[in-house]
Amino acid sequence: MYQIIRPLLFSLDAERGHDLIIALLSILSRNKTALRWLNRRGIQQTPSLPCTLAGLHLPNPLGLAAGLDKNAQAFPALAALGFGWLELGTVTPKPQPGNPKKRLYRIPSEAALINRMGFNSGGLEPFIQNVKRLRQNTNAIIGINIGRNARTPTNQSVEDYLVSLDAVYGLADYVAINVSSPNTKTLRELQEYRNLNHLVDRLIIRRNELATHHDRTIPLFLKIAPDLDPNQIEGIADIAIKYKLEGIIATNTTVSRPDSLIPEYQEEGGLSGRPLRKLSTQTISQLRQFLESQIPVIGVGGIESKEDVKEKIQAGATLVQIYTSLIYQGPAIIRRILRGLEQDMKSMHINDWSSLVERIHSS
Ligand SMILES: Cc1cc2nc3c(=O)[nH]c(=O)nc-3n(C[C@H](O)[C@H](O)[C@H](O)COP(=O)(O)O)c2cc1C
């Protein structure tokens, strides 16, 4: 079906195409009959590969990466397509329009995207209303990815994250702290040791207070960039170990560009999809060296197939997320990847996800 829709969709400007799909999924997300219909074509055709992440029980290891459902309008329909878990956002405390358009570019020959959206967000208020309203239409595991408003001075960033953590705490299965989007000026500076240490320190203290208040501890994950040098990665790993962060999501999009003459590569912004794959895998490998086995890593960046999933696992991830390949291949990619992994597990006489991860790590 997506093969029929794709040429039409790709004839539109990339952001218009995206908005159209979100609008459609948002209508489906509000309608229980439509969701049942989607479920029959999605979840019910998707192999069950149960796994756990920081105490969360997931139906399968393939998650939707942040940035597609920024305002939490479409997650029940996205969940019905077969994702094991979904990350919503990035949401910023106050509404903001993001960068001027045009700000999203397709590069079909490379199965890549470049975006400089800049956290276009409706803000926390409508986001929370949407989650509350739609939560009852799905039992999917949802993470909420939080970021900073563009106008917030860098030295006041922590306040933005605290406000968001407070607001989403009762609604999220986990919270992802996004310090790695390249399109909000100085955001990535929060990955520097002193800044990150301060941010994580404050967030962990607040999370622990909220845990007492809500009688439930939700995991905190940190999402990092693929453009870090080994020293920076070591610093991040140190902080993650020191504060016992529950996971690291590696990686966001890259500001680097492959050596190629493709004109779109001149566009400013974060590059995702196929050209990001190796860089993201490399970041995971380096992170894993410093983390040892203490903290789970979620692998994201350029995954298009079950082989790419296994590459991320081999590098040290335990679960994965996708975004760009969903745009190019459509929802059938979820089933394709998971069926492929299920078949491999059968042929290796492995019947649970953690055994597959262990086997790949030790191979
Ligand atoms: C259009 C677009 C918007 C994105 N927005 C966000 C975002 O708001 N927050 C975030 O943490 N990551 C965002 N990302 C990054 C993705 O979550 C993911 O980390 C990255 O695209 C690499 O995965 P992929 O190669 O499978 O797309 C965005 C990516 C794209 C393509």
pLDDT tens profile 113-132: 999 999 999 999 999 999 99
How far, in whole angstroms, is CA 209 from its chain's centroid?
Answer: 26
Distance from the alpha carbon of residue 214 to the mean position of ligand 1, in angstroms: 30
Task: Give the chain's mean pLDDT.
Answer: 97
The CA distance from 267 to 110, in Å, is 15
- Binding pocket residue ranges, ligand 1, CB within 6 Å: 65-67, 70, 90, 104, 113, 115, 117, 145, 178, 181, 223, 252-253, 272-273, 276, 300-303, 322-325
Cβ neighbour number for residue 286 with a 10 Å cutoff: 21
Tokens 């990092």, residue located: 224
Give the nearest ligand 1 atom to 253 CA.
20
Give the nearest ligand 1 atom to 249 CA.
19
Asked whether 313 and 344 are in contact (CB, 8 A), the reply is no
Cα four-point dihedral sign 237, 158, 119, 140: positive
Of the candidates 26, 164, 181, 272, the residue annotated as catalytic is: 181
Distance from the alpha carbon of residue 184 to the mean position of ligand 1, in angstroms: 13
Tens of pLDDT, residues 79-105: 999 999 999 999 999 999 999 999 999
Nearest protein Cα to ligand 1, atom 4:
67
Give the nearest ligand 1 atom to 223 CA.
11
Distance from the alpha carbon of residue 113 to the mean position of ligand 1, in angstroms: 9
Asked whether 249 and 176 are in contact (CB, 8 A), the reply is yes
In this prediction the pTM is 0.98
Name the H helices within the chain: 2-11, 14-29, 32-41, 75-80, 124-135, 157-168, 193-214, 230-242, 277-291, 306-315, 324-329, 332-347, 353-362
Q: Which of 149, 175, 191, 272 to mutate to test the pocket of ligand 1 (most atoms within 8 A of CB)?
A: 272
Q: Which domains does the chain have, with CATH numbers?
A: 2-362 (3.20.20.70)
**What's the CA angle centered on 338, arms 63 and 325, to 5 degrees?**
55
What average pLDDT does this structure show over 265-287?
A: 97
Asked whether 309 and 280 are in contact (CB, 8 A), the reply is no
Spatial CA neighbour of 271 closest among 119, 106, 140, 154:
106
Cα four-point dihedral sign 51, 53, 54, 57: negative
**Secondary structure class of 198 (helix, strand, coil):** helix
Asked whether 171 and 131 are in contact (CB, 8 A), the reply is yes
Residue 181 among the catalytic residues: yes
Statement: residue 156 has pLDDT above 90:
yes
pLDDT given at position 281: 98
Amino acid 68 reads L
pLDDT-based confidence at residue 112 (cuts at 50, 70, 90): very high
**Secondary structure class of 58 (helix, strand, coil):** strand
Distance from the alpha carbon of residue 65 to the mean position of ligand 1, in angstroms: 6
